[in-house]
Amino acid sequence: MLDKNGIAKRIAKEIKDGYYVNLGIGIPTLVANYIPTHINIVLQSENGLLGMGPFPFEGEEDADLINAGKQTITTLPGSSIFDSAMSFGMIRSQKIDLTILGAMEVSEFGDIANWKIPGKMVKGMGGAMDLVASAKNIIVAMQHVNKAGESKLLPECTLPLTGVRCIKKVVTELAVLDILPEGGFQLLERAPGVSVDYIRNATSGRLIADDDTPEMQID
């Protein structure tokens, strides 16, 4: 199965030339390190930046340059910095081609819960509500199961929802899955060495899978 960097590397293959892409907090931020060199894209951060580069090397950080998750970042030639009002104007007017988000739960109908666990302190939902309501295409980067080994791909989300029927694809440490319009997780690829039966057992929602599902090609 994949580690977090492996998930990010696989998702980077979904990005097409010319895309404007928003990276959410957590695993999605790692995608910036694996953008193929032969394509030209623009990474957007909702705190007000177009033109993010990869994470800086140790000792080269600039504390004034951060992403929405408050991590230090780099900028590329031609990047621009602006206020959050303009940033959310870009998001709400659907100028972003692809949004990559983390999640705590995803349902078989494409619902997502990624901002709150009842009883735990949170600062707010950040830009997630706007992103799921406005994005043309959303891919979720997440762990297939939680720390207790329970599936996070469910018939219905149990946590407070961020968005309804908005997720198109999920990439986990075990699999790449499409979410079908009529509901259900369609298995497209499996992580190297992971069997289809293992993925079935780790998925509580309805899984549509062929026994000859191919392995992911990461490199």
Active site residues: 46
Task: Give dist(CA 81, CA 45) in Å, integer.
Answer: 10
Sheet architecture: strand order including 175-179: 75-81, 49-52, 42-45, 20-23, 98-101, 138-141, 169-171, 175-179, 185-190, 207-208
The SS3 assignment for 15 reads coil
Task: Give dist(CA 111, CA 154) in Å, integer.
Answer: 10
Task: Give dist(CA 43, CA 52) in Å, integer.
Answer: 5
β-pair type (185-190, 207-208): parallel
Task: Give dist(CA 82, CA 126) in Å, integer.
Answer: 17
List alpha helices for 52-195, DSSP H.
84-92, 128-134
